[in-house]
Amino acid sequence: MICFGFSNVKGSIFNMEKSEKIILVTGSTGFLGSAITRRLLVSGYRLRLLIRKRDNDTSPNSFGRESTVKELILGNQLNECLTEQRSMTDDRAGTDGSLYDLFLSNVEIFEGDITSRDLGLEEEEYKRLCCEVDEVFHCAAATHFENQRADELVTVNVKGTENMLQFANSGKQKRFHYVSTAYVAGKQNDIVYENEPVDEEPQFNNEYERSKFIAEQVVIKYAKSNEIPYTIYRPSIIVGESETGETCKFDNLYTFMKVLFNIQNSFINHESEGLNDIAVRVPGVSNALINLVPVDYVADAIVAILKARESINKIFHITNPDPPELCELRDLLMPVLGIEGINVKVDGQMEHKRLSAIERLFLRHTRTYYSYLFSRLRFDCRNTQSVLESTGIICPVITRDLVKVLVDFAISHNWGDGKQTESQKVEIAC
């Protein structure tokens, strides 16, 4: 299992802030959710984690408090770091004085299901959480793009969000944080503004976008009707950590990189001597904007916004203010992937043209993401930049060095083959 360390968390993990607020987090075992959860822990929040119960496991507390936090949330790097800090003490720490015990004292784990009544919890558990939780951070989502699974997307992303809103409005009123996606804008090619919700349903690239659009509308309408303070976060295409490349989610950009890498190794290096200058046409337009954001930037930005007073009842784009165009990204990727014998060309729709065997292979594996290679969407992020201005949190520029970090990690982990748990496949955000 791939987990993240604390290498990119702002500030020292041993100079924790203190907060008496209790936050219920969904999706804490997923890609973005785990990164956010780690930062909330470092910020001193008391956390209640709603973890999806594993299929075919009827045993009580099947994840286990310690193993879930340690393996899925904290990660190996933090565990090693904490081992070296055994001498440090805190009033709320355990008997051995470790900060690991301090973290455990701030976390309580519940197994449930956001799509079920009362979140799949026992009646007394649900009532207790309703009364003690101050804020809800709803990060859990189904993120697949297969349109034939649209019913699952509606169940998890829409119905699940409705259930979380009802929870936020039960017992004492709670602030509601919702992780949406910048691509609720669908197939527009204009600037998408933070201060203006996408009111009219646009054409969408897939049913995932549609489900997040509907869920976002549900959040805004329900919150306003019930006077629940809310904040919506819209990240764009999330990739691995900027310094280490670490990720547990190998889709979107990674799919393209993996296919090109495998084509290079299989067709050029091993099977096709003398076939140097093979052209692979890629559907899209050269000036399409590929809005990539490293997960550490997204998590840092979201937690900073969460703390800001001016973030209530607003929408924030967690996007790259200067995204690379498709041709620029291609030129960054090719030398990093070691592609020497393949000439990658951006070539429109391509349906009417005769495809080579390599092109058919490429298109078969990447078809899910075609539409994003034509997008010229730009995202206004003035709300985000205004909050982050005094924090030092800046979106990394997509350079060859950053791309190399991402590629090196992906290759060293075999492009994530067999690395995702069943819970991660469902409980990952955007």
Rounded CA-CA distance 14/327 in Å is 43
DSSP secondary structure code for residue 413 in this structure: T
Q: Residues 258, 405, 327, CA angle at the centre, nearest 5°?
A: 60
Cα dihedral 59, 65, 69, 71, rounded to 10, equals: -50
Beta bridge partners of 237: 292
DSSP secondary structure code for residue 43 in this structure: T
Q: What is the pLDDT of residue 355?
A: 81
207 burial type by CB count under 10 A (0-12 exposed, 13-18 middle, 19+ buried) = buried
Q: Which residues of 257-287 are buried (b: 16+ CB within 10 A; e: fewer)?
A: bbbbbebbeebbeeeeeeeeebebbbbbbee
Q: Look up tokens 């709300």; give the residue.
A: 383
Q: Are 288 and 374 within 8 A, CB to CB? A: yes
Q: What is the pLDDT of residue 131?
A: 96
Tokens linked to 237: 């295409």
Using one digit for the tens of pLDDT, what is the confidence trace for 47-60?
999 988 765 554 44
Residues 6 or more apart whose CB falls under 8 angstroms from that of 200 comprise none
Distance between terminal CA atoms of the chain?
20
Residues 6 or more apart whose CB falls under 8 angstroms from that of 5 comprise 75, 76, 77, 78, 81, 244, 246
Q: For each of the domains in the chain, give its residue range(s) and CATH number, in order of start.
A: 22-249+292-321+377-397+414-426 (3.40.50.720)
Beta bridge partners of 325: 289
- The residue ranges of DSSP E strands in 236-312, in sequence order, are 237-239, 278-282, 292-294
Q: Are 235 and 293 within 8 A, CB to CB? A: yes
Residues 6 or more apart whose CB falls under 8 angstroms from that of 181 comprise 208, 209, 212, 234, 235, 236, 430
**Cα–Cα separations (whole angstroms), residue 263 to 82, 335, 338:** 43, 14, 11
Using one digit for the tens of pLDDT, what is the confidence trace for 224-247?
999 999 999 999 999 999 999 999
Q: What is the DSSP string of 167-204?
A: HHTSSS--EEEEE--GGGGTT--SEEPTTS---S----
Residues 6 or more apart whose CB falls under 8 angstroms from that of 204 comprise 186, 187, 210, 213
Residues of the chain under the 50 pLDDT cut: 1-7, 10-15, 58-63, 65, 76-99, 270-272, 274-275, 419-430
CA 75 vs. chain centroid, Å, equals 17
Q: What is the pLDDT of residue 87?
A: 37
